[in-house]
Amino acid sequence: MEIISRKEALEQGLNRYFTGISCSHGHAYYRYTSNGACVLCTIRDSHRNQQKESYKEKARDRAKRSQKATPRDKKNAIWRKCYSTNTEYRARKAAASARRKQKYREDYAKLSPHEKLEVDILYEEAYLIGYHVDHIIPTSAGGKHEPSNLQIVSPEYNMRKGAKLFNYKERQV
Ligand SMILES: [Zn+2]
């Protein structure tokens, strides 16, 4: 990252600048020219504000529910058995996953070094707080694997969204 003062960034009309000095949370990363705030801290804070309940609290609820839900356990066991014996289905899933990863790699290769770093850091941040990185517009629906189409979401959100899209597709048939 090129070192540039906030004043210079303002003069050049850049929305971000990097002084080489880490923020109080140790991010040696860009700050917003408008307010001098660390980009990573801002991403994380805005995300945390969106989440009313803490992730840990939800995880505890989930654990409690899953202990009660024996019918679901049975269903999962049937599903696992079916999955392990259905090689054709598994191969199809693996191929779809490989295609998705290939698309991510292709999109990523086209990004600028700055954007690549932003993607890397988003994934790192999500990993650190136990969240997922979600494509706002799914890549299957033409969304790109690029910073502007990525957001950090809770695992629950990701599953809900996945289910919603699935239902949406079902309705379209
Ligand atoms: Zn920071």
Strand 150-153 with 132-135, pairing = antiparallel
Report the chain's mean pLDDT, rounded to a whole number: 81
Structural domain includes residue 106: no
Centre of ligand 1 to C-alpha 24, Å, is 6
Q: Residue 116 is part of which domain span?
A: 112-173
pLDDT for residue 52: 56
Cα(92) to ligand 1 centroid in Å equals 41
Please give the C-alpha separations between residue 128 and each of 14, 121, 124, 163, in angstroms, as whole numbers. Answer: 29, 10, 6, 25
| Residue pointed to by tokens 């995300």 | 47
- C-alpha 11/C-alpha 18 separation (Å) is 14
Position 110 scores a pLDDT of 95
Token digits for 110?
A: 């086209």
Tell me the CA–centroid distance for residue 42 and ligand 1, in Å. Answer: 7
Model pLDDT, residue 168: 44
CA of 62 to the centre of ligand 1 (A): 31
| Per-residue model confidence as pLDDT tens digits over 123-173 | 877 887 788 899 988 888 889 999 989 988 888 877 777 655 544 444 443
74: in domain: no
Q: What is the arithmetic mean of pLDDT over 54-74?
A: 72
Decide if 104 is inside a domain. Answer: no
CA 72 to centroid of ligand 1, rounded, Å: 42
Q: Determine the distance from the C-alpha atom of residue 98 to the mean position of all C-alpha atoms in its chain, rounded to a whole number.
A: 18
The whole model's pTM is what? 0.47
What total of structural domains would you count in the chain? Answer: 2
Lowest mean pLDDT: which of 5-9, 46-50, 94-98?
46-50
Residue at 125 is within a domain: yes
Domain for residue 37, yes or no? yes
**Residue 96 domain flag:** no
What was the pLDDT predicted at 51? Answer: 64
Per residue in 36-50, pLDDT (tens digit) is 999 888 877 776 766
* Residue 136 counted as domain residue: yes
Does residue 21 belong to any structural domain of this protein?
Answer: yes
